Each structure stands twice: as structure tokens, then as C-alpha cells.
Chain A
Amino acid sequence: MKRIGIDVGGTNTDAVLLDGTRVVQTVKTPTTEDVTTGITRALRDVLEQSHVDHRRIDAVMIGTTHFTNAVVQRRGLTRVAAVRIGLPASASLPPFADWPDDLASIVRGEVFMLEGGHEYDGRPIVPFDARGMRDVARRIRVAGLRAVGIASVFSPLNPSCEDAAAAILREECPDVAITRSHDLGRIGLLERENVALLNACLLDLARKTARAFTEALRGSGLAVPLYLTQNDGTVMVADVAERFPVYSFASGPTNSMRGAAFLSGLHDALVIDVGGTTTDIGCLRHGFPREANNVVAVGGVRTLFRMPDLLSLGLGGGSLVRPEPLAIGPVSVGYQLTERGMVFGGSELTATDVAVAAGLVDLGDRARVTSLPAELVKSCIARMSAMIDEGVDRMKTDASEMPLIAVGGGCFLVPSSLAGISEVVHVPHQAVANAVGAAIAQVSGEADQIFQGMTRDEAIAEAKRLAEDKAVAAGADPSRLKVVEVEDLPIAYLPGNSLRTRVRVVGDIASVPAERWDREGSGHRGPSRVPRVRPRTPRDGSERGGLGGLR
């Protein structure tokens, strides 16, 4: 199977061509303002340089930070209507209750709250106010709003109110784009509703972006399915991505870690990605990033996102070094390293210059740093090693030794031996680990529900069945599904040995001949049941996540 993985970053658009498990070709091109041109160029280059026939490509996977950036920078967002179903519960905390004012003022169109919703055991709180919903739908039409987010109390357990509301909306205003919270989230009304509203406000942009990606593909003569990578290292087909842009929020770091796993052949390891400005450290379990357990805020909004647990350090190849007193980072020359760094003819002392002086890497003109005091070089290297050492140790969850995979343009800063690390592994193609991670992405499905009156084994079996159904609906090959996570949490105070059970399965993408795709479109993919995101509870107020403005 031949796949192309593309990572659209802020600076570079990278592409790799994979044949089975072999990296055939890698290219790096600058990201362009319109995104499409950069992708077209990367696709053209990777195909030309590898001399592979267009028709032999099976799939293209794109990873992008486009939607995250839109929320963080508050641009390209659509005004939405929020519909909350659950009165008389939750009345005092309406939708947008804890949003930053600037973002709410852009996104908040109208807010409606209606009677309905369910109890933890599936009983209705009160009957759903269908008549009220019809009135709301008409008001949304009159207000000219084009996107709606719907959230109902306990909809992950019983989605019927959200479904009924969506049906009424479709009748009254057929053109509005609808996001139902149960498609996106787990238990936690406010956080799940936030995700639905964020998703709704990104739908216009998602449509445009997905079309631009598709256009780039067609322009390159590729008639293959397009997938977008999501936070958990799995993919969704482009038309699902178009409807669920929030799923791609953290795909960048995820792809880099997955790529590192693939390139090293290690499935349980720590990964350190040293970039120009920051270093991200994460942990791989079964080839997937370990996920953060805390509430993740995106652009200041609490969400339930499934995000990789990352520790971000202000250390990278471009980090500025101040000799007296010794300080390294967090300020960095970033992508200007090749102009401002000393070895490249500039005048600023960076981490890269020190590494060149110490003989860790051969870059630029070494003669320009031979005059650096040996003592400074030594103490600098020691300081950077200590920063990495401490960060790596903080991310370890186990006293036993583990391998550490070093990737990223600045990975020469990683010392060759570290406490608690069995081996520092350097891999080929480490500079395009992100694109490799995109190329190898799989499809996942997750179930997270409260089960009552079942044994633990029965509840897990039932959750597994639901998760498998979702994975298959999202495009997985049913014969090659694997359970990657099982978690059960008994719930205090609820009767009948209530058990909240979460199961996640992943599988390879089912091979679908391109012509079948063209004929059937994507209707059979049933995108209403795509993988879910996870709720997060606060754990750590420190800067974590390495997701730039995500926190």
C-alpha cells in the first residue's frame, strides 16, 4: 500500500511517500498563505522525485494546525446558535458560561434553552419540548444563523433529544450546519457543549479548507481518498473532517510521536521532539501517545479533548544563549536561525552554535564559533542536558528504564545518555516525523458510557462492541481491529454498581477502491458515529501540552 503523508505546519509543509513500511521519499517545502499551493507543490515534488505513478497511490493523509490556529487567533470563525436541552436542570449556567469574552463576542449568536434531557440512568428529566424547539428553529432561520450547536443533558447516554432537535432544525432551516454534542464528547455538559460550539463555529472554515485540500489532490492528478489526521493519531475521511474540525486540534504533536514510533520500531518509549523554539516530550504506549488527564483549554475554552500528554520546554535549536549569568531560552530566533545564528554568519549565540562548538553536530561554519570559551560551551551543554534530563524524568511513569526516541531538527541537543533511559534512539527521516505520523495513521472508535447491572466483564465487552462499530463506521477494516485502551471507573453514590467504562479500538483503514469512493461518496461511512473525545479533569496548572496557544 502506498500512502502520502503531509504535515502542514506554520513554517513548512512536509510530505513523505510510504510504500508499506518503507519511506520512499521525503520533501520539505515552505507553507504558503493559501495552504493549497504549498500542498500542491509538496505533492508534485514527492511524486516527481520518487518516480511513482499517481495511480499507484492509495491514500493521502494530511495533518494540519489550521483549525487550532483559527480559534487561538480568533479568525475565520462563524457566529453560531447554541441550543441547550435540559431545563429545568442547568438553567443558571447557560451556554458560553465560561468562555473568554473576546471569543464569545465573535461566536455567540443566539442562546436557547429548552426542557428535556436525561438522567444518568436514561430516564427523561422532563419530556423534550419539541414545540419549543420548532419555535427556536424558526428564530434561528429569521436571525440568519448558519451554524448550530446542540447539547442535551446526558446525551452521551441517550442522544434522542439532540437527534430530535436536529431533525426539527433540518425541517425548518435545511441549510444550517448542525453539530450535536453527543457526536463529540463524553460526560461533562459544559465541556461537551463547548466542543460542539467550537466545532460549529469552525464549520465554514472546515468546508473551505477541506475543499482546498481536495482541490490540491485533484490538481496533482490523484484520485484517492483524502484523510485528515486527528488528535489521537488516527484519521478521519475528509468529509467527516469537514464536519468535525475540532478533532484535528492536536494532531501536530501526535503525528510527530506516532512518526517517531514508526521510524524507530518502538511502541513503548519516550519521545523527545526538539524544534527551533521548544522541546516536546511525550510518552508512547502501544505506539500511541499517552493522553493528558487534565481539562484542556483551547483558546481559553474548557474542552474534553483527547490530547497527548506533553511536557513543553523552552529549549530548541534556535534558543538564545546568554553567557552571564548563564541562561538558555525560552526566547528563540526560531526559523531565522539560518540567518541570525553565529555558525550561519549571524551575530546571535544560539543553542545550535554551542552544539557546533562542542562538536555535537556539523552545521554552518564551525570556524565562526571556535573562539567561544571552552568553559562556556561546557557549562551550556551541561545546562541543556540537565533541562532535558529533568523533563524526561518528569514524563516517565515507571521506574524501569525506557528508550528515548529523539526527533526534530534540534535533536542533536539530546545527550547520548540520560538517567532512567536505556538508550537514546536516533532515527532516519527524523525531520519529517510529523508527515510520517500522518501517513501511518489508523482509524479508531471509542465508547464511553455508564453501565449498570452488569459485571465488569460484561460492561467492557459491551463497550468494546460499541467502539468497534464506531471504528468501522469511521472507515476501519473490521477484521483488523485492536483494543488499545480499556478503562473502568466505578461511580460513587450511584446505585447498582454503576461502572463508567471506556474502550478504544484502532484498526487499519479498510482498502476502498478509488472508483467505489467516487461512486458511493461517503454516505456509507456513517460519520455521525465517529470517535469521541475524552473529558479531562484538572491536574496540573503548569504549562503543558506544547500546543502553543492551546492552553
Chain B
Amino acid sequence: MASLRALSIQDIESLAIGAWILGTGGGGSPYYGLLNMRRLYGEGVRVGLLDAAALADDDLVAVVSQMGAPLVGQERLTDPRTIARAVTMMEEYLGTTFRAVMAVEIGGSNAIQPLMAAALLNRPVVDADAMGRAFPEAQMTSFAIHDLPMAPLTLADIRDNSVIVQRAASWKWMERLSRKVCVEVGSIAATCKAPRTGKDVKDCAILGTTSKAIRIGQAVQDARRAHRDPVEAVLAAEGGLLLFGGKVQDVSRRTTEGFLRGRAVLEGLDELKGQRFELAFQNEFAVGWLDEVPRVMTPDLICVMDSVSGEAVGTETLRYGQRVRVIALPAPPVLMTPKGLEHVGPRAFGYDLEFRSVFSPEGGFSSDAGSAPLPNLPPRLRGQSPRSNADRSP
């Protein structure tokens, strides 16, 4: 495979679909980014996708994301110039030039941000990210798990406001400082995270995730065209597991500490009638229980998809009556190391559960939730059971 390949607009359409699925319920819809890319491609701009292996150890890579509230994005939209400016600010600050751009988060709208920056700056996009999915907080990255530095960070606003966080005492402090600035400029800002060397990327990033998202999107599109089941197509393409199929019976949401937290209850359909699946989320889906027993948990990717269209269903768009299927996709190995689990395991989200991947052989989980009886889980997997929904919406 060539180390640099030109992305077609069809690739980017697929990327938008796949990234929304890898968003595991959060990350914001990639729609506005996709519209920008369609316009840029219409003007003749092209973006190349670079294999991380092609980076020299001392190449510098810009790691970008748009931070803020997805709802604000629905009004302010997103502009390639802002994210490109965050990158050039960093270059000016460092007095050097980036070889390429990459995503910090492949799940959701941030999958498209590096493409927008790359299009304007005429650099390639590295086929990698630092989450392999979407996560709500800054320290939930493979770079943080590897203890790479969190600073400097540049932040660009649509007006002529630019902020550089030169140092931060910890990842948590970086999150607090940048969040404060982000809120002040309207709860949406383009950021260029701490620069990474080619060696950092090769050693500490999660590789191949851009092409993975494209592949997932293509599987969905191909299935739709052939009138096949798009959910099955994703499972087949990525070695995923079907965990449940049912109807949304109840959703409760609340905002605490700036996050959308909540729970959704699904009631089984067809062969699963009488069974119940409960999902807890903090922006993204974090834990799923089958009949009160933990069935799947972060960092395994928990994706909820519309049963018919295969379209991803976000935690903000889940609603009563939707017919959905819950699937799990394998998490990148770095997230499942002991250090990784400290950052992104169930305890990092406040669930006192011992992480067990649905893909681990000892789990003995059935791969076909639709027909095979589900085995009893070992006692040590029985963690805290779902709480009642005290603040349910009417």
C-alpha cells in the first residue's frame, strides 16, 4: 500500500458515516465538516492520507480538534480557516513547520477537522488518532496514557482571538484552562494540541483509524445500496459483536459538570422479547447492562445504530420508541492496558466495575444475541447495577 493516498470525496462521505458510528454516541455529527469538504473538493482542493509509518522520527505532527458544545456548532457551523489558524499559530509559536495534521478523536465531528486544516495548509492527514473513538475528556487519549506532555496548546476563535496555553500542571489543568477559554469565546473553539513527533505518533498514537472509519462507512453504504443489513455489514467488516436489538423505552438525561449524562433503557424485540438492556452515558455510551448484569463497558466501543438504516444514534438523539441495535467494536489495545484503563476504563467514568472486554475469550459471550441463549456472567463481572432514573424527563 502506498504510504500516501489521495482521498476522494466518496472516501470523505464514508468517513463521515464511519466517524459518527465510532463516536459511540458522542462527538457531534460530522455533517457540517462534510459540507465544508464537499465545497473544498468542489473548488479542486484535495487531501492526502499518510500512513504513519511514512513519518520520520523527527517530523512534527499537528493534532487538532474543535472543542465545545455540539449544539453551538449547529448555529456557528465550522470553518476550515479557524482550525487551520490554530495550526499556524502553533507553528509560529514553535518556529517550525508541521509535516502533517492528525485527529485527536476519530469519533464524530472531529474526524473531519484535520482534513479541513490539511486542505487549507496543503499538508497530508496522518491515518491515526489518539482515541480510536470519542471520549469526553482531554486526558482520555493514548498520548496521555503514554505520559506525553500536554502543552503547549493553541486555541483559535472565529474573531481575532488567539490563546496559547504554554504550560499546564497536569492534563486536568489543561482541560480546565482550555475549557474556560472555550466557554468565553462562545463554547466553541479550534484547538491544536501539544505537537507530536513522528516517533510519538508511531509509538503512541492509535494507527489506521482514519481508514478504519472510511471502511466502516463504506460497509454501511455498500449494504444500503445492495439492500443488505448495514449493521451486519459493520459487524462483519470490523469483527464486532451484536449485543442487543430492541426498542428505546426510556431516556433520562442531565447535565453535570458540563457533560451530558444519562441512561437509556431498551426493551428486547423478537427473540429478545422480555429482556432488557440498559445503557449509561457520559456524552458517549460508557456501560451497558443486560438484565441488570454488566454486559459491555468502556473502553470497548458501544455503538447504538438504527436497526434499519444503520445510522448511528447519538446520546443526544436517542429517543423513546426508536428501534435500535447495540453493537460492540473492539477497543484499541492501548486503552485496555492497566494504565489505559486508569484513563478510560469504567472506573474513570465512576462505575465500580472490573473491566472485561466482550471480546476477551474468558468472557465467553455469545456472538449472536439474536438467537443463542446468553450465558450467565461470572460473579466477578457483576458490578453495580443500574440506578433508578430519578430525574426522568416527562
Q: A: which residues have CB within 8 A of B?
A: 86, 88-93, 97-98, 119-120, 123, 125-126, 153-154, 187-190, 290, 293, 394, 396-399, 450, 456, 486-495, 497-500, 535, 537-542
Contact = CB atoms under 8 A, between A and B. Distances in A.
Contacts of A123: 186
Nearest to B74: A188
30 contacts: A86-B76, A88-B158, A89-B75, A89-B77, A89-B79, A90-B76, A91-B81, A92-B80, A93-B39, A120-B186, A125-B159, A125-B186, A153-B75, A154-B75, A187-B71, A189-B74, A394-B323, A396-B321, A399-B267, A489-B316, A490-B253, A492-B260, A493-B70, A493-B72, A493-B187, A493-B258, A499-B255, A537-B29, A538-B317, A541-B311
Interface in B292-350: 306, 308-311, 313-314, 316-317, 319-323
A188 B321 contact: no
A120 B187 contact: yes
Given A153-B75, A492-B283, A497-B255, A487 B393 contact: yes
Contacts of A494: 69, 71-72, 183, 187, 255, 258
Contacts of A120: 69, 71-72, 75, 186-187
Contacts of A500: 71
A491 B183 contact: no
B72 to A, nearest CB: 5
Nearest to B71: A491
B253 A489 contact: yes
Interface residues of B, number: 52
A499 to B, nearest CB: 7
Contacts of B77: 89-90, 92-93, 189-190
Contacts of B283: 492
Contacts of B323: 394
Interface string B66-110: 001111101111111100000000000000000000000000000
Interface string B194-238: 000000000000000000000000000000100000000000000
Contacts of B29: 537-538
A463 to B, nearest CB: 13
B259 interface: yes
B394 interface: yes
A93 B33 CA distance: 10
Contacts of A487: 393-394
Nearest to A192: B75
B35 interface: yes
Given A89-B158, A490-B260, A541 B306 contact: yes
B35 to A, nearest CB: 6
B172 interface: no
B5 interface: no
Contact of B313 (A486, A491, A539): A539
A537 B247 CA distance: 18
Given A120-B75, A538-B311, A493 B68 contact: yes
A86 to B, nearest CB: 7
A88 B159 contact: yes
A491 B253 CA distance: 9
Contacts of A86: 75-76
Contacts of B310: 541
B75 A188 contact: yes
B366 interface: no
B139 interface: no
Contacts of A290: 321
Contacts of A92: 36, 39, 77-81
Contacts of B158: 88-89, 125
B146 interface: no
B351 interface: no
A93 B32 contact: yes
